[in-house]
Amino acid sequence: MNAVSKSILTFILRTLIVISPIILILLGWYIWADPFKVIRHYDCYYPEPAEYPARIGINKGIVTFTNFEDRIKEGHKYDSFIFGSSISCYYDAATWSALIKDSLRRTCFAKGNENHISVNPYHFDSSGESLISLAKKVKYLDDNGIIIRHALIILDPVIMAANPSDSPGSIDPPQLHKNIFETIGYHYTFFRAATNADFFKSYIPGMVWNKPVKNGHNMVFERQPIKYDPLTNQETLQLWDSIIRTNPEKFYSRNPLNDSPIVYTERSPVLSEKKKEALERIAGIFSRHATDYHIIIGPNRAKITLNKSDLAEMQLIFESGRVHDFSTSHAPVLEADTMLYDNTHYRPPMAEIMMRQVYGSNAAE
Amino acid sequence: MQFTDIIFALFLTIVFCLYWFPLRGRTVWQNTLLLTASYIFYGWWDWRFLGLIFLTSLTTFISAQYARGRYGKLLTTANILLNLGILICFKYLGFFTENLGKLLSLFGLGLDWFTIEILVPVGISFYTFQAIAYSVDVYKCRITACRNPLAFFTFISYFPQLVAGPIERASRLLPQITGIRHWNRQLASSGMRMIMFGLMKKVCIADILAIYVGRIFSASEIDPIMVLAGGVLFSLEIYCDFSAYSEIARGVSRLLGIELMINFKFPYFSRNIPEFWRRWHISLMEWFRDYLYIPLGGNRNGKIRTAINTLIIFTLSGLWHGAAWNFVLWGVYWGACLVAAKFLFKQQVSKRDSTYGDIPAMVATFGVTSLGFYFFRCTSQADIIAGVHALWLYAAVFILIWAFSLLMVRYNILRKIIFVTFSALFLGIACYIAFTRWIYLLKFWWLIPGALVCVLEWEARNSDYPLQSVSSDEWKRLTLYVVCVLFIAISEPTEMTFIYFQF
């Protein structure tokens, strides 16, 4: 090796000596702490809120898939899935099951055959779920030989505009990665999220005081006191539901809502070619599985409604009577504060109203 | 692909290794690598605009071959008009049609049938001006036309300076591209220092300031205090952002054995307005001076003509930054300030190095600068009007600070008293915060790299670049570098692009 090559290598080595210590320290901390629970497998992703008030907000998609795989290994067999963003979390799986059974009893089975009706629900959701990621999830189930007998897709005119994101809260979990580069990008995203000053600003005082602290631009800790059912991947907010029932003024003084406007705003079209293709893939898989499915486009506090051309497109892609747009008709219900946890997420009673209307049932009180 | 992306670090590593290991000493292959890398770099932004940069390179190269021939003037003019036409089309057509429409509507006419929304190619202003400068230089026999298409295309698209300058002259850059590059470890080390310092300025200071500036300018109403804060903070943001890019560009280029020109020479340590414009965006101002100001007559035709030429140059300079009236206003503001500085206040560029005694003059200059940058940042007419209404506060605050700094500089005893008082106060507040409100120290962590940048730039204000003359003690140097790397590593991911990419 000549002198110039040696000099260049020496330069590279010295640069690495300067850069490496910091990177290795941060990497070491990240691997040891694993604050976003992406490196190791955990039996419990949602510890008890009362015991662990300072819980880092984690990627729901990772929990959904990891928990699903764990339950499958235990022998659970799921055949009914609720898809969507975090809004879909508050569609109660048990209520949905009951409505499906009721609907099946009324439409398909003679009274003597009730014992053969079986619905095993699972929430297959992610935060900020885009239509493209949703299609990937449906495909994942199809590729893994899971029969989708029943499906409920929960959408919202605002969320439908979302595109696949690289943010820690919304990035696709490893089970959906197509190549090693996506997996590297995934781990790099969480490494950066866990080793930047904005994270430490909240994390350090949060750990010291053992309570959620917002000291930076982004929220690090989970605000919601989530009760988690691993069998259905269902999240409930029993503590908040209790406070809202008994003392709504106290709850909403701490979690104020925006005023609901008088006028409705029709969203501009959001279904790009890629999103239409994603919906067509979903429709194709449901067709092959002979899935009994419904798509609910729910309302929101801001009274932003689904664009008519988007609705028409969806009705073309999916079978008749499968797409239910409640973004206009049910928006007045959300004028009542007690129907909402926050400006984006409506509570289970609102979800139940729409499910009952879709499945046309008065049973399962 | 931005300089702050991890993908750029991988890209640069690959280019560096290929450049210096298998291709060392082979200029043609190195230029092929640089050209390919530059097109990959530019195409990463938007592959659709590769055709434009190729067209600019091709027309400029061909027209220069015949620039000294019989139709030289015609060809050179045609090339300039073509490239300016492309620039105007992409950057200014929407602005002109919108304003023409408004003008016509005053007479009851309309232009509603014509609407246009064009995506502005990244860096078009920079490489277009670089190509035009080359065309003119060849025509005027300042340089000979480059006969090597590979070298020339590399010169136009050279990736470190492609999207945000500096706007290089062919006389400086082309010989380096056509010549053999020799490995120089000191040059490469200084390049790494520049990259490190530039990254720290960008991700630890500019991006954080951008959040606060964004909040100010997105407020429904801007009061005078917000105008002052917005102007000052944006001035710091745009300097840290733009100078960081230039430093990283120079640093990357030094890694490849090529020297780019200095684009910023610590402009906020300028003692007067003329000096500021010799230190801020040097490559652009030199371009305007050589290709517009001097052809218009420069300062050779009396004071009035000089003043008019100055106003024209700065108005066009403002328009170069963007197709919006706030940029034009900024240009006119600076033209007026420079004319007033030269003719009313007789300010001249000083050749001596700056000292602590120049701080009052620096404060006054910064006051004028930050007000100009407030207008530069305005996004609406209401913001501009708010700025005009806040002129009294701007003047009052900066006069006070100027007077205070003047007293501090002139009276030693006063300086000592104030220093001791402020130190004690600062220590007391710091201890209080550390023990009772320590989480706020975490919130403003970026003030530490901010203070470090201020100190290092002040120490280097009469040098070429910050960190040029760091301590000779190896351990002190290493500690400084590790600290800089730490700040870069923990920088907040705000996903801010470099401001000057939009130009």
SS3 assignment, position A7:
helix
pLDDT over 90 (residue B40): yes
Instruction: Please count the residues of chain A.
Output: 365
| CA–CA distances in Å: residue B364 to residues A78, A120, B182, B233, B341 | 72, 74, 45, 16, 12
Q: Which of A4, A15, A195 sits opposite B24 (nearest CB)?
A: A4
Measured CA angle at A353 (ends A352, A356), to 5 deg:
80
**Within a 13 Å sphere around the CA of A108, how many CA atoms are in the beta-carbon half?**
10
B183 touches chain A (CB under 8 A): yes
Which residue is closest to A206 within chain B, CA to CA?
B439
SS3 assignment, position A259:
coil
pLDDT over 60 (residue B451): yes
Q: Evaluate whether A56 touches A221 at the Cβ level (below 8 Å).
A: yes
**Beta carbons of B485 and A22 less than 8 Å apart:** yes
Q: DSSP code of B281?
A: S
B439 touches chain A (CB under 8 A): yes
DSSP string, B235-266: HHHHHHHHHHHHHHHHHHHHHTT-PPPP--S-
**Beta carbons of A215 and B183 less than 8 Å apart:** no
Looking at the DSSP bridge assignments, the partners of residue A84 are A125, A154
Instruction: Please count the residues of chain B.
Output: 503
**Beta carbons of B493 and A197 less than 8 Å apart:** no
pLDDT of residue A363: 42
**pLDDT over 70, % of chain B:** 95
Residue that is written with structure tokens 């109660």 in the block: A92
Which residue is closest to A3 within chain B, CA to CA?
B183
DSSP string, A19-88: HHHHHHHHHHHHHHH-TTS-SS--S-SS--TTT----B---HHHHHHHHHHHHHHHT----EEEEESGGG
Q: What type of residue sits at position A56?
A: I
Q: Which of A11, A21, A205 sits opposite B189 (nearest CB)?
A: A11
pLDDT of residue B110: 63
In chain B, which residues have their Cβ closer than 8 Å to the Cβ of A192? 493
**Within a 13 Å sphere around the CA of A248, how many CA atoms are in the beta-carbon half?**
9
Query: pTM here?
Result: 0.87
Distance CA B154, CA B443 (A): 44
Q: Could you report the per-residue pLDDT of B182-204, keeping only the tens digit for each?
A: 999 999 999 999 999 999 999 99
| pLDDT (average), residues B422-435 | 84
Q: Could you report the per-residue pLDDT of B202-224, keeping only the tens digit for each?
A: 999 999 999 999 999 998 888 89
CA-nearest of A30, A47, A48 to A39 is A30
Three-state SS string across B328-395, please?
HHHHHHHHHHHHHHHHHCCCCCCCCCCCHHHHHHHHHHHHHHHHHHHHHHCCCHHHHHHHHHCHHHHH
Q: What type of residue sits at position A62?
A: I
Residue ranges of chain A with per-residue pLDDT less than 50: 362-365
Distance CA B479, CA B12 (A): 25
pLDDT of residue B398: 93
> Exposure of A258 by Cβ count < 10 A (0-12 exposed, 13-18 middle, 19+ buried)?
exposed
pLDDT of residue B498: 65
Which residue is closest to B475 within chain A, CA to CA?
A18
CA-nearest of B396, B402, B369, B400 to B273 is B369
| pLDDT (average), residues B408-434 | 84
Q: Could you report the per-residue pLDDT of B56-111, keeping only the tens digit for each?
A: 999 999 999 998 888 889 999 999 999 999 888 888 877 777 777 777 777 776 65
The token duo for B287 is: 């371009």
pLDDT of residue B502: 61
Sheet holding A121-125, edge to edge: A121-125, A80-84, A150-155, A292-297, A323-325
The token duo for B215 is: 């909040």
Q: Is the complex ipTM higher than 0.95?
A: no
pLDDT over 80 (residue B132): yes
Residue that is written with structure tokens 């798509």 in the block: A295
> Could you say which residues from 110 to 139 on chain B have a Cβ atom under 8 Å away from some Cβ of chain A?
none
Residue environment code for A101-111, b if the CB has 16+ CB neighbours within 10 A, otherwise e: bbbbbeeeeee
Reported confidence tier of residue B319, pLDDT bands at 50, 70, 90: confident
Distance CA A82, CA A60 (A): 14
CATH placement of domain A52-165+224-359: 3.40.50
pLDDT of residue A163: 87
pLDDT over 80 (residue B35): yes
**Beta carbons of B442 and A200 less than 8 Å apart:** yes
Backbone angles phi, psi at A211, to 5 degrees: -150, 155
Q: In sequence order, which residues have a C-beta less than 8 Å from that of residue A67 and are 6 or more positions away?
A: A45, A230, A233
Backbone angles phi, psi at B151, to 5 degrees: -65, -40
- Pick the residue of A4, A165, A166, A200 with the most B CBs within 10 A to test the interface with B by mutation: A4
Neighbours of B473 (CB within 10 A): 9
Q: In sequence order, which residues have a C-beta less than 8 Å from that of residue A192 and are 6 or more positions away?
A: B493
B55 touches chain A (CB under 8 A): no
Chain A residues contacting B via beta carbons under 8 Å: 4-5, 7-8, 10-11, 14-15, 18-19, 21-23, 26, 188, 192-193, 195-198, 200-201, 204-205, 213, 215-217
pLDDT of residue A323: 96
Q: DSSP code of B48?
A: G
B429 touches chain A (CB under 8 A): no
Q: Which of A11, A22, A192 sits opposite B185 (nearest CB)?
A: A11
The token duo for A97 is: 């099951």
The token duo for B197 is: 């310092």
> Is beta strand A80-84 parallel, antiparallel or unpaired with respect to A150-155?
parallel
Backbone angles phi, psi at A212, to 5 degrees: -65, 130
Looking at the DSSP bridge assignments, the partners of residue B267 are none
In chain A, which residues have their Cβ closer than 8 Å to the Cβ of B483? none
Q: Would you list the domain boundaries of chain A? A: 52-165+224-359
| CA–CA distances in Å: residue B164 to residues B57, B221, B265, B281, B282 | 17, 32, 17, 11, 13
Query: What is the nearest CA distance from A220 to chain B, expressed in angstroms?
Result: 13
Which residue is closest to A198 within chain B, CA to CA?
B492
B321 catalytic residue (yes or no): yes
